[in-house]
């Protein structure tokens, strides 16, 4: 049985470019509300709503967040598609996730899970090996950094800490894959 989990990082470090017709405050508020709604439906495991709110947040936040923020929301579609049984579609998105984020182990986890679900264990094992290497590199890099001994204070440091924490969770999830 595949361990079904969800790893989503959410950041809104904005380099804000206003949309015409809306104040920056209104746009930020709409974006924040959409991100909050997306997070809520993820925690509720309402997979159809995850797909809808991911698109909504991307649309409302397209001028306010980073490419990494948009990609992280797109990655939340992977477990949604998986849990809805839309495995072929999820595999395509997992492949795109790897193209867009080759250093993001969660992309490899979901691809391995999809391949295993499709009865392709050898391919799943190869993808799992790649993802495990990434997890180990990210964990080691963080643990050897000076940031590991103090609290983060900048958006970049928070992102590094989150990358580390996600890598640890993904590593645990990889270990639960039946390969």
Q: What are the residue ranges of helices labelled H in the chain?
A: 24-44, 47-61, 67-75, 77-83, 87-100, 105-117, 121-143, 155-176
Q: Show pLDDT as tens, one digit a residue, over the chain (179 residues).
A: 444 444 443 333 333 344 455 677 888 888 889 888 988 998 898 999 999 998 888 888 876 666 666 667 767 889 999 999 999 999 999 999 899 889 889 999 999 999 999 999 999 999 999 999 999 999 999 999 999 999 999 988 988 898 899 899 999 999 999 88
Structural domains in the chain, CATH included, are 66-176 (1.25.40.10)
pLDDT score, position 32: 87
At 26 the pLDDT is 85
> Closest Cα partner for 33 from 63, 60, 52?
60
């Amino acid at each position: 049985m595949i361990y079904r989990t969800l790893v989503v990082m959410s950041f809104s470090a904005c380099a804000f470019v206003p949309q015409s017709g809306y104040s920056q405050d209104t746009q930020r508020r709409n974006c924040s509300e959409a991100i909050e709604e997306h997070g809520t439906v993820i925690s509720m495991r309402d997979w159809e709503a995850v797909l809808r709110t991911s698109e909504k947040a991307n649309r409302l936040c397209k001028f306010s967040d980073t490419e990494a923020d948009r990609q992280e929301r797109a990655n939340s579609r992977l477990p949604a598609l998986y849990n809805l049984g839309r495995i072929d579609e999820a595999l395509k998105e997992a492949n795109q996730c790897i193209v867009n984020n080759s250093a993001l182990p969660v992309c490899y986890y979901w691809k391995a899970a999809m391949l295993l679900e499709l009865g392709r264990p050898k391919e799943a094992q190869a993808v799992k090996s790649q993802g495990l290497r990434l997890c180990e590199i990210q964990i080691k890099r963080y643990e050897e950094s000076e940031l590991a001994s103090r609290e983060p204070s900048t958006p970049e440091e928070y992102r590094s800490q989150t990358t580390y924490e996600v890598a640890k969770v993904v590593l645990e999830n990889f270990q639960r894959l039946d390969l």
